[in-house]
Structure 1
Amino acid sequence: MATFEQGLLLGVLIGEGHFGGDGKQPHVTVRMHTKHAGLFNTLLDLCPGSKLYGPYEHGGRSYYQWMVRGQVLREQLVPQLDALPLQSIDHHVYDRYMEMKQRYHL
Structure 2
Amino acid sequence: MATFEEGLLLGILIGEGHFGGDGKQPQITVRMHTKHERLFHTLLDLCPGSKLYGPYTHGGRSYYQWMARGEVLRQQLIPRLDALPLESVDTHVYERYTDMKQRYGL
Tell me the TM-score normalised to structure 1 length. Answer: 1.00
Q: CA deviation at 1:31?
A: 0.1
Give the structure 2 partner of residue 84 of structure 1: 84
SS of match in other structure, 1:65: strand
**Cα distance between partner residues in 2 of 1:72 and 1:6:** 16
Give 3-state SS (helix, strand or coil) of 1:48's partner.
coil
Q: Match for residue 56 of structure 2?
A: 56
Aligned to 1:65: 65
CA distance in 2, matches of 1:71, 1:3: 23
> Structure 1 segments of 4 or more deviating over 3 A?
none
Instruction: Supply the distance in 2 between the matched residues of 1:15 and 1:50 (Cα, whole angstroms).
Output: 19
> What is residue 25 of structure 1 aligned with on the other side?
25
Q: Please report the RMSD computed on the Cα atoms of aligned residues, expressed in angstroms.
A: 0.2
Deviation at 1:22, TM superposition (A): 0.5
User: Does the residue aligned with 1:14 lie in a helix, a strand or coil?
Assistant: helix
Residue ranges of structure 1 left out of the alignment (5+ in a row):
none
- What is the CA–CA distance in structure 2 between the aligned matches of 1:71 and 1:60, rounded to whole Å? 34
Secondary structure in structure 2 of the residue aligned to 1:80: helix
For structure 2, the 5+ residue unaligned runs are none
TM-score by length of 2: 1.00
